[in-house]
Chains A and B, each alone.
Chain A
Amino acid sequence: MANELRLVEAIREALADEMARDDSVVVYGEDVGVNGGVFRATRDLYEEFPDQVYDTPLAESAILGLGVGLGAYGLVPVAEIQFASFAFQGFHQLHQHASRMRSRTRGALSVPMTVRTPYGGGIRALELHSESYEAGYAHVPGLKTVVPSNPADAKGLLTAAIRDPDPVLFLEPTKRYRASREPVPEDDHTVPLGEAAVVREGSDVTVVAWGAMLAETLDAAAASDASAEVIDLRTVSPMDSEAILNSVRKTGRCVVVHEAPRTGGLAAEIIARINDDALYHLEAPVERVTGYDVPFPMFAREDAYRPDAERIRRGIERALSA
């Protein structure tokens, strides 16, 4: 059975199902209770699960640090950071404690925390409400970083993240929250962390994307004369290299798309992995279509910054013409 849900509703469903299944799951953060979250991802959960949903003071360092304690104690913390940019206010808790508790204590303590947060541009938001920092999180060993691109995956990946025994950062593409209604399995539905999906088969070129860029990439693939194979990375760390390599070995060409700035972005890591293990299958240099190395502009200029289907199509053409 499947419901037609928006991405944000699929997230709410995963939270509700997991709290119902396991009463040690605790959902907390700024405005997640009475208000149901500023994007309504936790709408009505406070009424339904009064002992499992909590509003916290306005303090991200506290929210993430509390998760370390809650998790080590044996609860299953699911924290919301209102906007991804404000996870920086608690970044040290993720980097210095949550992600390394297991390795430091040789497994004696661990932090099964999930941190959900909206990220990315394209909704005319305020300054500092549009950044994509997934590469920075991928640089933190011991932290898993997951980015759904559609409602069904959002439910499946979030359920898997909550059940995962390690800390998971779950980045929700704001632009996709209400973009479409799609079928989402009604019952227990998980999508394994660390597995990419081939969402469109093709033979000429591989295009790798995630999050909000996936929709733009599928539009670009449809507009291109080439037969493009599109891969949704889904978990950016740990990354499913094999899925990318297998596709590149077949197509011989690759384009990587991300909204984040170019320098140090995940495209660079993906290209390095292709160089390591599929270099001799390449018929052309791998192309990148990314944001620029500038602070994410305020919304009067954000369309100029964000890769769109047209820029991605040109990237595909460059990969084919080389």
Chain B
Amino acid sequence: MVRDRVAEFSVEYVQALDEEGNLDETVAPDVSEDRLLELYRLMRLSRRVDERAVALQRRGELGTYAPGIGQEAAQVGSAVALKPEGWMVPSFREGAAFLTRGTPIHRLLWYSMGMEEGAEVSGATFPPSIPVGSQALHAAGLGWAQEITGADEAALAYFGDGATSQGDVYEAMNVAGVLDAHCVFLCQNNQWAISVPRRGQSRAETLAQKAVAAGIEGVQVDGNDVLGVLAVTRDALDSAREGDPVLIEALTYRRSMHTTSDDPRVYRTDEEEAEWERRDPIERFETYLRDEGLLDDERVAAIGEEIEDVIADEIDRAKEGQRQVVPAEMFDYVFAETPPELRRQRAAFESERSRASEEVSDDG
């Protein structure tokens, strides 16, 4: 039997800012000082929104919530690389990416208050995808549309390590490759899919290499390094706009629970959590910015206060909207034009509710 080597592959790993906050100038992206501070602010804002949301959920004011604590660099660094015309196709943990795209906080809170109002998107943005992985194909479709129409744009799809086990994610990468779709797939490998560790998803050494079978480029980046993620995503989007899709595996960690219904103590150790606390994306970036003279104690505190004020206002606004929910609106957006049977159901719904409320007032 003759065995010839017909193909060889390798996977690169990129890091700009190391765990101590030292920058590798050869990898660092070109970013203005204002932009650097904006990245810092967005990461801190996202962290505080998540912390407040978890607390609100504990008080019964929000439904199930999926915090992205620990993943701020992966999300902010990638979302900021996408132009406003580029499409964002998120999963369900992309609060930080939404904030980076300018989505108001009260809208994120509405979503967690169980209101369709919270999934009302604007601009080139998809709503959260609750089924794991299926949204990757939508990004491929958007990216293909950009190829067909000759648009100088690209789509950015988010998914987790667990999602890479879904057929849809492989199909998305494969069709994107065949169709020259303008598409970047960003896998946030946060090491856990609920209770199943990364190794429980695939025997493959890296998730980035899943690109190989689809014939597209795959690359790993330190997902807790906001500048590295920004640099890699920028490159990938440039490539995607030319019709060469890319899979990025951002190595990060979900520091809190999977969702507020989950208890990570059942399946992971304190040591592991401490190890990743040490690699926290915000602290490392703050160290760097202080070293550069862009931040000092005073500035750090001022940003913190400004963030608290914004969040407090937005929570008020979310609660105000919640008080105004109109139940019958569930009938209104099912079709562009409501068919007769659905109009009939809506009318029956309204009359039954008004009769019920009359009876209540009769009793009282």
| Interface residues, chain A, with chain B CB atoms under 8 Å away | 30-31, 33-36, 38, 55, 57-59, 61-62, 85-86, 88-89, 124-129, 262-263, 292-295, 297-305, 310-311, 314
Contact = CB atoms under 8 A, between A and B. Distances in A.
A284 B168 CA distance: 49
Interface string B193-212: 11110001110000000000
B352 A311 contact: yes
Contact of A58 (B166, B331, B334): B166
Contacts of B262: 38
Given A292-B345, A293-B334, A298-B114, A125 B166 contact: no
Interface in B294-336: 322, 325, 327-331, 334
Contacts of A292: 330-331, 342, 345, 349
Contacts of B92: 126
29 contacts: A31-B194, A34-B267, A35-B267, A36-B266, A38-B262, A57-B201, A57-B202, A58-B163, A58-B165, A59-B165, A86-B131, A89-B168, A127-B128, A128-B131, A262-B345, A263-B341, A292-B342, A293-B334, A293-B342, A294-B334, A298-B111, A298-B114, A300-B114, A300-B116, A301-B116, A301-B327, A301-B329, A304-B327, A304-B328
A299 B63 contact: yes
Closest 10 CB pairs of A and B: A299-B114, A35-B195, A304-B327, A57-B165, A58-B162, A300-B114, A298-B114, A59-B165, A128-B130, A300-B115
Nearest to A311: B352
A57 B131 contact: no
A31 B196 contact: yes
B64 interface: yes
A30 B130 contact: no
Nearest to A55: B196
A294 B194 contact: no
B325 A58 contact: no
Contacts of B102: none
B261 interface: yes
A304 B167 contact: no
B134 interface: yes
Interface residues of B, number: 48
A129 to B, nearest CB: 7
What does DSSP make chain A's interface, helix, strand, loop or mixed? loop
Interface of B: 63-64, 92, 111, 113-116, 118-119, 128, 130-134, 162-163, 165-168, 193-196, 200-202, 261-262, 266-267, 322, 325, 327-331, 334, 341-342, 345, 349, 352-353, 356
A187 to B, nearest CB: 31
Most chain B CB within a 10 A radius of its CB, from A35, A61, A300 = A300
Given A126-B130, A294-B334, A35 B64 contact: no
A294 B330 contact: yes
Contacts of A59: 165-167
A96 to B, nearest CB: 14
Contacts of B331: 292, 294
Nearest to B163: A58
Nearest to A293: B342
Contacts of B352: 311, 314
Contacts of A126: 63-64, 92, 130
B194 A35 contact: yes
B166 A89 contact: yes
Contacts of B200: 55, 57
Contacts of A61: 166-167
A34 B134 CA distance: 26
A297 to B, nearest CB: 5
A311 to B, nearest CB: 7
B195 A294 contact: no
Contact of B330 (A31, A263, A304): A304
A124 B201 contact: no
A127 B118 CA distance: 11
B132 A58 contact: yes
Contact of A302 (B114, B329, B349, B353): B114
Contact of A300 (B267, B325, B341): B325
B337 to A, nearest CB: 14
Contacts of B341: 263, 293
Nearest to B268: A34
B16 to A, nearest CB: 30
Contacts of B194: 30-31, 35, 38
A293 to B, nearest CB: 6
A38 B325 CA distance: 30
Contact of A295 (B329, B334, B356): B334
Contacts of A310: 356
A58 B196 contact: yes
Given A30-B196, A36-B266, A55-B196, A89 B134 contact: yes
Q: Name the residue among B116, B168, B322 with the largest chain A CB count within 10 angstroms.
A: B116
A74 B94 CA distance: 43
Contacts of B133: 58
Contacts of A128: 130-131
Contacts of A89: 131, 134, 166, 168
A125 B330 contact: no
A124 B63 contact: yes
A270 B112 CA distance: 37
Nearest to B165: A57
A55 to B, nearest CB: 5
Contacts of A129: 130
A294 B341 CA distance: 11
Given A58-B163, A262-B345, A300-B114, A127 B196 contact: no
Interface-central residue, A33, A263, A293, by most chain B CB under 10 Å: A293
A217 B111 CA distance: 31
A58 B193 contact: yes
Nearest to A297: B330
Given A57-B200, A294-B342, A297-B116, A304 B349 contact: yes
Contacts of B115: 298, 300-301
A124 B130 CA distance: 15
